[in-house]
């Protein structure tokens, strides 16, 4: 197989290619409010939110960003009305099925993080298929957090490590940050450089608690369905103005 040439389109002139975030994570929030303001049912906001995500993925790919992770459903979101939860599960399944061919053409590698075994079986099957089909793709890495909770992820990592200790395969002193990271859902994905949250909420709502340790956080009042390329441009521009010190002093 011949390697596909890397083509970058349309990186706005005021953004530096060298200082692009490698990995962008988004908390896609505000779908319900978007719909409510228009007198529509909340689900219409979710439907529109899918278009926003598709456009963002394309923009990231075009600009040469290596990884995008989107928070689609939290472990706490099961507490929403059954009708909304059902709608979301069906929506995820339908979108995955519909978008797979394009993901292949665009060389996107899809991954999922979260406790997937609790999802409807038909969705799990669609996820398995999409992940397997796109496994060898070498373009942008696109991760969807579904039934994801940062605390749940940390607890399951602790259990896995404790089991290995109990079986004599590991000693407590073998537990390092690296080893711990290897037991998270994100084992082979680098930590996000930039976290964007839409709809103005100043919290991370149980998203990537471990991985966001040094992410730059950008919050916009814009509701997720209205978040477009120019909003994303502003977020990346703001990121490029930050001084990432990682606890050190400026040289
Ligand atoms: C985010 O939008 C989507 C999901 C959590 C699935 P919301 O549905 O949380 O929208 P708001 O916050 O109620 O406006
Ligand atoms: C976070 O949004 C989860 C997702 C975007 C999937 P929520 O709307 O669930 O978060 P809270 O309730 O405002 O903290
Ligand atoms: Mg919300």
Domains in the chain, start-ordered, CATH in brackets? 18-148+191-240 (3.40.1180.10)
29 as an active site residue: the answer is yes
Write out pLDDT tens, residues 18-42. 999 999 999 999 999 999 999 999 9
pLDDT at 251 over 80: no
| Annotated catalytic residue, options 77, 137, 147, 206 | 77
**Whether the CB of 28 sits within 6 Å of ligand 2:** yes
pLDDT at 4 over 90: no
pTM of the full predicted structure? 0.96
Q: Which is nearest to 17 in space by CA: 70, 80, 83, 66?
A: 66
User: How far apart are the C-alpha atoms of 215 and 207, rounded to whole Å?
Assistant: 12
Share of the chain above pLDDT 70, in %: 96
**Whether the CB of 198 sits within 6 Å of ligand 2:** no
Terminal C-alpha separation, the chain: 45
């Amino acid at each position: 197989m011949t390697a596909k040439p890397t083509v970058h389109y349309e990186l706005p002139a005021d953004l530096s290619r060298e200082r692009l975030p490698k990995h962008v994570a988004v908390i896609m929030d505000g779908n319900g409010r978007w719909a409510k303001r228009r007198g529509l049912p909340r689900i219409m906001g979710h439907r529109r939110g899918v278009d926003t995500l598709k456009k963002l993925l394309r923009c990231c790919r075009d600009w040469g960003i290596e990884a995008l992770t989107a928070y689609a459903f939290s472990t706490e979101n099961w507490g929403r009305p059954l009708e909304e939860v059902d709608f979301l599960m069906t929506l995820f399944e339908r979108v995955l099925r519909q978008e797979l061919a394009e993901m292949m053409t665009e060389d996107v590698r899809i991954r999922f993080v979260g406790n997937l075994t609790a999802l409807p079986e038909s969705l799990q099957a669609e996820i398995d298929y999409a992940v397997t089909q796109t496994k060898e793709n070498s373009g942008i890495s696109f991760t969807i957090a579904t039934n994801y909770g940062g605390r749940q992820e940390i607890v399951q990592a602790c259990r896995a490590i404790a089991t290995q200790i109990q079986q004599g395969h590991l000693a407590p002193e073998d537990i390092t940050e690296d080893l711990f990271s290897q037991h998270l859902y994100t084992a082979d994905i680098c930590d996000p450089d930039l976290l964007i949250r839409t709809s103005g909420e100043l919290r991370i709502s149980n998203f990537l608690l471990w991985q966001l340790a040094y992410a730059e956080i950008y919050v916009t009042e814009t509701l997720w369905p209205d978040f477009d390329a120019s909003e994303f441009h502003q977020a990346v521009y703001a990121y490029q103005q930050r001084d990432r010190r990682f606890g050190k002093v400026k040289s």
